[in-house]
Amino acid sequence: MTSHLSRLADTAPEAYKAHIDIASPAHGTTVELSQAHSALFSAQLCGDGVALRLTGSTLVAPFDATVTFIAEAGTEVCLRSQQGVQLMMSLQPDPEALHGQGVRCQVGKGQQVSQGQVLISVDLPSVNRTLQNPLWTLTVPNSMRMQTVVPHYGQVQQGQDKVLSLYL
């Protein structure tokens, strides 16, 4: 028996069938972006997305991409896929409070990265001691070019579970 959702997907306009799923870059729990500590992210001024409460110690590339930006402290990295999808991963709140400790970037600006490649190593106990309720925001700065961005909430496994579905 075909489910109601399957029938809806089969009859959806072609424009909504073309989509890209973004796999989780880390182990953790995704929550609404509105829980981000920065108004820039919670108000979605940096694009649609989710916030991720880490339980693991690394963030990996969720797709093959070029690194387009890295914050000096390694607390933010931006990627661009060959299809033009942009993804910004940013530690909240107040990453400057870490004073360069607890987060180590493993890649350089302009570098080509492969899906699953480690981008950032996190000393989770150190970060959790220094920052109150740390979250990584995962946003799509060019989400206004998409038909829609669908966030997925709950526990996620790095590289296995999707955190966002982008409908092109």
Residue 168's CB is within 10 A of a number of other CB atoms, namely: 15
Asked if residue 143 is part of any domain, the answer here is yes
Asked if residue 10 is part of any domain, the answer here is no
Domain of residue 141, residue span? 16-167
Asked if residue 6 is part of any domain, the answer here is no
Could you report the per-residue pLDDT of 23-53, keeping only the tens digit for each? Answer: 999 999 999 998 887 766 666 667 899 999 9
Could you report the per-residue pLDDT of 124-167, keeping only the tens digit for each? Answer: 999 989 888 899 999 999 998 989 999 999 999 999 999 999 99
Asked if residue 1 is part of any domain, the answer here is no
Asked if residue 3 is part of any domain, the answer here is no
Asked if residue 2 is part of any domain, the answer here is no
Number of domains in the chain: 1
CATH number, residue 160: 2.70.70.10
Asked if residue 147 is part of any domain, the answer here is yes
Give percent of the chain with pLDDT exceeding 70: 86
Is the CB of residue 62 less than 8 Å from the CB of residue 23? yes
Question: What is the distance between the alpha carbons of residues 167 and 18, in angstroms, rounded to a whole number?
Answer: 6
Asked if residue 9 is part of any domain, the answer here is no
